[in-house]
Structure 1
Amino acid sequence: MENSQVAVYLAYSTPHRHTAIDRELYVPRSWTDAPDRCRAADIPDTRTFATKPHLGKQQVDLSGASRCVIHQGLTGDSRLKRNGVEG
């Protein structure tokens, strides 16, 4: 997937409602290793590579959530994690 946009989303859901809480653009290593490419796409020079699970863990940590469902949309991998998220 060289020329597409992938994002990591944090959402809150109940049986009756749901809402997006946070989102973060996933930038692949091939881009973070090419500063000129990032600048051309208005991605800050300070941006470093982070895996999608790491970005998700940062979002959950900042939210203070203790229970969450993780869904990896590109592969369809879903699992329930309690008391933290593996990164």
Structure 2
Amino acid sequence: MYWKLRIPLIMGVMGVVSGLVQKFPNLFLVNTSYFISSAIFFGLIGIIITIFEKTGMNEKKVHFIIGVGIILFSIIFDYLMV
């Protein structure tokens, strides 16, 4: 069974960016209010997803296990970076 990479990549980006922002908050969100930091976080995710859309990377088909592996990696990465 094959699956497009759209959903695994979106969830993967969210997990990895969330983990990095939690581990290194000063690198991404330097002394800003909560509203601005949230906007920067969602903007960063939006830029990365837009790059995936423009390059066509999200249209590639992979096996279901690889998609689940990407999602599990992002969840574990986010959990371990806290």
Same fold (TM over 0.5): no
Bigger relative contact order (CA 8 A; separation at least 6): 2
In which range does the TM-score fall when normalised by the shorter chain? Answer: under 0.3
Q: Could you state the TM-score of these two structures normalised by the residue count of structure 2?
A: 0.25
Structure number with the higher strand fraction is 1
Q: Could you state the TM-score of these two structures normalised by the residue count of structure 1?
A: 0.25
Structure number with the higher helix fraction is 2
